[in-house]
Structure 1
Amino acid sequence: MTIHPDGPPDELRAFARQSFGTDQTWITLSGGRSNRSWRLKTGAGSWVFKLFDADRSNRLFPNDPTAERAALQVLAGTGLAPDFQTSFATGTGICIVYRYVAGAPLRYTDAETIRTLARLHQVGAPKLRRLESTPRALLQQGRQIVAGLRGEGVKELDRCAPEPRDIPAGPSVFLHGDPVPANVLAYGEKRMLIDWQCPAIGDATADLAIALSPAMHVVYGAGALPPADEFTALQAYPDASVIERYLSLKPFFHWRMAAYCAWKVAQGEAVYARAFEAELSRI
């Protein structure tokens, strides 16, 4: 399959000609760290072609095109996600096609993003992976992520691991799974969630932890949210019991994310060294 330096592979071009005609303009979209995507402009409209890289899946952020398709289909017409069009197999991976949405990726999580996540959490979810967000589960997930790693980062994780305690799990809801700032489009006062390759079912606090994560703001935003801005955004969630549970679970979410950052550093992604420090600073 030929990949063009200024556009998509031949298989995507051929599919687009068959489905949308020959009047085509392709624009490479930036921002994604897991998959490649392009915007197709035609006389009839504008679409995103997202080509999945199966090698980019990991324990914390699975890269699952089947789950993304299921999520987009359930969310059709809600305004929470782009409108799904179709998907097809290529020689290098699955490609998902959805309607292009004109909007700007956020640089930080704001109150409207938290309200948007709350709306998602009220939608009935399709069949998806299940997340556990109890203190013991979060500690276990972090240890599994760094299993086999050595170095000062792992030693620091061992030193600052919070003591597990009993915090009852909340109701299971439909989770985006990866609501980092770059995966939220702002258009006017509204917010739309994109990049649905990690959806799940679990406690609403799991989405809040990713949305407010200092590390994810270092990697995908404008730097870690100041505590005051984090508090302001969090207060927009309409369920006080979820906020209270999130605040109780914060040290465990921070520790697990720090473990993920340590693993990413070991994979050669240098930006995660700063992200690691940002996350540890909040434990």
Structure 2
Amino acid sequence: MSERLSDEDLLAFLETRLPVDDWNGVRLRPLPVSYTSRFWWLDTPGRVYVVKEFFPGNEENPVYPTLPHQEADALSVLSRHALSPDLEAFAQSPVGTPLLVYGYASPGSFEIGVGEAAELIGRFAALKERVPGHITVPSGWHEVLESGDAMLAAIPESRKAANLKRLRPADSEVKRTAPVRSLVHRSFCLGTILATGEGARLIDWQFAGLGDPVEDIVCFVSPGLAMLYGLHPLVADVEEMFLEHYPDQETVGRFAQERSAYHWRLAAYCLFRHETLSHINAPAARAYGRALEEEVDLLLRLRGR
């Protein structure tokens, strides 16, 4: 869409959708823009709303396709289990873009501990209720490596791709087994955990899919993903604390065995994005380049163990 959604039009639209008694005292404030979405924060007495407008044209990403309906489907189920904020609205904006609104009680504190994060994602991984409408994503050592191979094949002229192929873990390192399939968040980090008046909640479900919970552990400890979210990579003792607090230690064991495949695939993704964005979005390309360096450094450390 070429037409930009104005704050005035958005506020008028929200007045028809949200159960706010008195609109005279509300405050709408734009938040930082991500690669795929614009955000606003709507402050009302006792309750906060976050408004998310999805940019079109991001549905074909090879690892993280942006699928607004998946976020709406996830929020509608997970909020009942105290895992996400409440879905307040999901509709087409006045300019035709997908618009999603979630709400939560105003928090007393904005601090979230690593142990609380581990407990939250562990409860999510143990959830038995199925969430409809989600894509199937690569699960386990072999499917993840094949996903990385496909991205590098799409940038055959890249000299960095040839170097990254030398770091590829071997298929034979892990025995091929039936893939694990459950809902995974796929971009889990401290930047996707929201402090609310009712406790920590998970946000940003547009990349979710049916895969292996190991991926969510990998995302939380990934230095490249942390940098893309504007966070500092975790130090070693914080990573250890997270793994100790994660409720399912069998999943932690598979993470220890298979993490290098996921980190290598994430490095391949960062390189793919770095190469394909270099001529159309130089700042984003540089950000992916820095994230690539972080993932490569981690792969080298894992090799040296």
Match of 2:27 in 1: 25
Greater shift, 87-96 or 61-70, is seen at 87-96
> Aligned with 1:223: secondary structure?
coil
How far is 1:101 from its partner?
Answer: 5.3
Q: Within 5 A, what are the aligned runs for 1:141-152?
A: 141-149=147-155, 150-152=157-159
Q: Which has the higher helix share?
A: 2
Q: Does 1:156 align with 2:156?
A: no
- Residue 76 (structure 1) shift: 2.3
Cα distance 1:277–1:106, how it changes in 2: closer, same or farther (>3 A)? farther
**Match status 1:234 vs 2:240:** no
Specify whether residues 52 and 86 from structure 1 end up closer, same or farther in structure 2 by C-alpha distance, changes over 3 A only: same
The equivalent residue for 1:99 is: 103
Displacement of 1:247: 0.8
- Per the alignment, residue 234 of structure 2 pairs with 225
How far apart are residue 243 of structure 1 and its match? 0.8
Distance in 2 (alpha carbons) for counterparts of 1:106 and 1:273:
30
Which whole-Å CA distance do the structure 2 matches of 1:239 and 1:70 have between them? 25
Q: Is the 8 A contact 2:136 2:211 kept in 1?
A: yes
Distance in 1 between the 2:296 and 2:230 partners?
18
Question: What's the CA shift string for 1:103-154, capped at 9, x where partnerless?
Answer: 58889x8232122111011222212212232222111111222333233321
RMSD (Å) for aligned C-alpha atoms:
2.6
Partner of 1:246: 255
Displacement of 1:61: 1.3
With 116-125 and 18-27 compared, the bigger mean Cα shift is at 18-27
* CA pair 84-211 structure 1, distance change in 2 beyond 3 A: same
CA contact (8 A) 1:71 1:125 kept: no
Aligned to 2:126: 122
Partner of 1:89: 92
Residue of structure 2 equivalent to 1:48: 50
2: distance between equivalents of 1:22 and 1:135? 52
TM-score (norm 2): 0.81
- Pick one of 267, 271, 281 that aligns with 1:262: 271
Q: Distance in 2 between matches of 1:44 and 1:192?
A: 17
Is 1:37–2:39 an aligned residue pair?
yes
Secondary structure of the equivalent of 1:36? strand
SS of the residue 1:49 aligns to: strand
Aligned to 2:303: none
Deviation at 1:224, TM superposition (A): 2.1
Partner of 1:272: 288
Q: What letter matches 1:62 in structure 2? A: P
Q: Partner of 1:183 in structure 2? A: 192
Contact 2:151–2:272 (CA under 8 A) maintained in structure 1: yes
Task: Give the superposition deviation at 1:3.
Answer: 3.6
The C-alpha deviation readout for 1:156-183, integer Å capped at 9, x for no partner, is: 2111111013153564322122213211
User: How far 1:282 sits from its partner (Å)?
Assistant: 1.9
Q: Name structure 2 gaps, 5 residues minimum.
A: 279-283, 300-305
SS state of the match for residue 33, structure 1?
A: coil
Deviation of 1:9 (Å): 6.3
The DSSP-based 3-state class of the residue aligned with 2:166 is: helix
Partners of 1:256 and 1:115 lie apart in 2 by 26
Match of 2:78 among 75, 78, 94: 75
Report the residue type matching 1:66 in the other structure. H
- Paired residue secondary structure (2:120): helix
Question: Hey, what's the Cα distance between the residues in 1 that align with 2:219 and 2:152?
Answer: 19
> Which residue does 1:205 correspond to in 2?
214
1:190 is displaced (CA, Å) by 4.2
| TM-score using structure 1 length | 0.87
Aligned partners of 1:142, 1:196: CA distance in 2, in Å? Answer: 22
Match of 2:115 in 1: 111
Distance 1:130 1:51, change over 3 A: same
Q: Secondary structure at the match of 1:54?
A: coil
